[in-house]
Amino acid sequence: MKLRNVPAGTGLQWVKLGVTTFFRQPLALSGLFFMFMATVSVLSIIPLIGTAISAVLTPAANLGLMAASREASAGRFPMPSTLVSALRGSREQTRAMLMLGAMYAGCLLLVLATAALLGPSAPAGEIETSVTPEMMQSLLGSPGLWLALLVYIPVLMMFWHAPALVHWHGVSPVKSLFFSALACWQNKGALFIFGLGWMGVFLLSGLVISLLGTALGGVQALNIILYPAVLFVASMFYASVYFTFRDSFDTDPAPDELPSPTGDPT
């Protein structure tokens, strides 16, 4: 396995590939992302352990969304089972993926603890029920928030490519974190442009949604179109993550990427 050093402009190409791949299979990709979010929402209802289970399963779900993007980019329809493909391999693959998930949950707990340590605390007995400008100003001015974001950057780098390395190429969970962070650092220019590109897409989408809501009747129309629009844009983003992995490593094809003996794709 060798790391590839791609030009910074590749980041915009990744954004374009995510958008075009989404429109090849929009219902399938948005449906899989909806299933992922719905599962997280249901698990969060479980007291104490629900959030921890969601965190443990996040790398596996990310791998499933990457696999769905790979299928769509190859002209195939990603089936619902693609979302749990990381847990449908061999026992060793499943164990490694769950171990990676446990590592992610531990790192996420560290980030949340950092935010809570320096974040503002509400007075006892006072529960905020609505978002106010003062609340947002207090949140954005919290040193805990910015420190947590700073701490989360290396966590994000370690787990960005790790699920694909573990499941598709048999890299151990610990080594996958190292290779993922190294690949992200080596291609930091492309990933920076990638992030800026998606920020632009999100801002442009928000502007279009606001204009449509105003044109179609105000708040009620905005509420109707907001959720599906956010779902579609988020699905496009996750569709693009696969291409950041594909172009960052020079590897042999994964077993399920190899053509069949007849020459037809599997």
Tally of structural domains, the chain? 1
219 falls within a domain: yes
Give, for 78, the enclosing helix (H) or strand (E): none
Classify residue 261: in a domain, yes or no: no
Q: What local confidence, expressed as pLDDT, does residue 98 receive?
A: 95
249 located within any domain: yes
Q: How far apart are CA 195 and CA 206, in angstroms?
A: 16
Is residue 171 included in any domain, yes or no?
Answer: yes
79 inside domain: yes
Label each residue of 96-109 as H, E or C.
Answer: HHHHHHHHHHHHHH
Of residues 82 and 48, the one with the higher pLDDT is: 82
The whole-number average pLDDT for the span 201-221 is 79
Chain centroid to Cα 140, Å, comes to: 23
In a domain, 124, yes or no: no
Output the six-digit token pair for 75.
Answer: 């002209």
Q: Is residue 6 part of a domain?
A: no
As given in the structure block, the two tokens for residue 172 are 């151990």
Structural domain includes residue 129: no
- The neighbour count for residue 237, using CB atoms within 10 Å, is 18
Mean pLDDT across 97-116: 90
The residue with tokens 């919290």 is 142
Q: Which residues contact 249 (CB under 8 A, 6 or more apart)?
A: 1, 2, 3, 4, 161, 165, 179, 183
> Domain limits at 64?
11-119+139-254
Query: Which range (75-89, 111-125, 130-144, 166-180) has the least confidence?
Result: 130-144
130-159 per-position pLDDT tens digit: 444 554 455 555 666 677 788 889 999 999
Please state whether the predicted TM-score (pTM) of the whole model is above 0.85: no
* Mean pLDDT confidence for 199-225: 79
